[in-house]
Structure 1
Amino acid sequence: MFGRLMPTEGKFFDLFNQHADLCVKGSKEMLALMTNFDDLENRVHAIEGVEKQADAVTYNTIELLHKTFITPLDRDDIHKLITRMDDILDLLEDAGQTISLYDIREVTPEAKRLAELCVACTEKVKVAVGMLHNMNNSRDILTVCEEIDRLESDADHVMRAAMSKLFRDEPDVRTLIKLKAIYELLETVTDRCEDVANIIEGIVVENA
């Protein structure tokens, strides 16, 4: 039954893939921003543009969900998956805007490392989402989800070390507050990627 429904509403998987592509694009823009602050405002603007594109994909997915009588996945799973994916780009946009508003002029190695882990997580999300249309991929999908979990754990470790160093070594309270906010936003991006992985794992268990 599940396999027969796939061709009928494959549009959902196309939309998931479009959104996953945008998640990767947004995270790479964030890493580029963290690598070179010389083009800060243009990078922030680029992230905002990607987020708006992702909002449109999310809207189209939910609109299609309301119009579709028989869906290839559980309706609640479709809604949770696309909204959690959208959270990823919302947080990346928040991080970019916060860097701009706080007038941060240089990046720490820890912030750059968190941005790198955001890219790695979103790339794995893209891989997992790209295989979701075919439950014959279930074993590979679960393996990728485990990799996302490991990357999120890596981000936790980086975050804890960054916070320890920040509170130990940063004498300026304003700088401390600014960097703490950036660390938290970037680490939360990896949390949302893990949420997406958990949703995908649940879909696989239900449908494989």
Structure 2
Amino acid sequence: MLPKRTQFFELLEAHSERVLAGASSMLRLINDLGVNPEEVNALIQEVNMNEASADQIKADLMLMLHKSFVTPLNRDQVYNLTLDIDRIMNSVQDVAQAVNIYHIGTSNAESRELASMAVDACSRLTRAIAALKEQGRSEVSVNLCVEIERIEEKSDLVMQRAIKTLFQNEGDEQAALRAFALREFYSLQEKVLRNCKASAQMLEEILIQNA
């Protein structure tokens, strides 16, 4: 089987686009907490639908890798990048599902900022992957990857600020349990950004080896 060179790139781009759509739904979900509670379950389902769509694209990519004798990029690199993108989508879904698991009824500035950063990172990743098929745009992809890594670094500071705020004031046992639940929720949000960074680093490796 000798697929067209563009098929791999098109599937990778479609995969990252589903992740971006899922992250955008997650951002709307977090922004709606405590504001439009009637929209929360619908947005959780929207994230789940994007995850299911991303899983199908991942399966198509894996099948093409399995059947192809020739690939436009290193086979292992395509495989690893696909898994990295899949981890972003899974972590986005984890955040959405955690809203009900931890009974998160409202959001604060830090949570909304982390969600916005995730969309920003996913948007840059999608653009970097879209540029991957054009060798003349490799510098564009590299710069976008660097920007993703910087976003992830900034998210560490937001996470630290959020955790510090949680435990600044003493409270009763219920307040303590809520603080621990929110800390776990923040950690899930931060994981989205860590997975974005891992995908960006994998993409950088691909770009360097194919320069």
Q: TM-score, normalised by structure 1?
A: 0.94
2:180 maps to what in 1?
177
Q: Could you tell me how far apart the structure 1 residues matched to 2:133 and 2:79 are?
A: 16
Give 1:3's aligned residue. Answer: none
Distance 1:170 1:133, change over 3 A: farther
DSSP 3-state at the match of 2:5: coil
Residues 19-55 of structure 1: per-residue CA shift (max 9 Å, x gap):
1111111111011011112111111111011101001
Give the fraction of aligned pairs with identical amino acids, expressed as a percent: 29
The Cα of 1:139 is off from its aligned counterpart by: 1.3
**How many residues of Structure 1 are paired with residues of Structure 2 in the alignment?**
203
| Alignment match, 1:186 | 189
- Letter of the 2:17 counterpart: D
Q: CA deviation at 1:7?
A: 8.1
Match of 2:10 in 1: 14
What's the counterpart of residue 132 of structure 1? Answer: 132
* Deviation of 1:170 (Å): 6.3
User: Is contact 2:166–2:179 with CA below 8 Å preserved after alignment?
Assistant: yes
Deviation at 1:85, TM superposition (A): 0.3
**Runs of at least 4 residues of structure 1 off by over 3 A?**
none
Post-superposition offset of 1:142: 0.9
Partners of 1:141 and 1:43 in 2: CA distance: 31
CA contact (8 A) 2:3 2:68 kept: no
> Gaps (5+ residues) in structure 1?
1-5
Contact 1:170 1:176 in 2 (8 A): no
Q: Which 10-residue stretch deviates more, 147-156 or 132-141? A: 132-141
Match of 2:200 among 192, 197, 201: 197
Q: Which runs of 5+ in 2 are unaligned?
A: none
Using the size of structure 2 for normalisation, the TM-score is 0.93
Out of 16, 23, 29, the position equivalent to 1:27 is: 23
- The C-alpha deviation readout for 1:136-166, integer Å capped at 9, x for no partner, is 1111111111111111111111011111111
**In 2 relative to 1, CA 170–123 (structure 1 residues): closer, same or farther, beyond 3 Å?**
farther
What are the within-5 Å matches in structure 2 for residues 81-96 of structure 1? 81-96=81-96
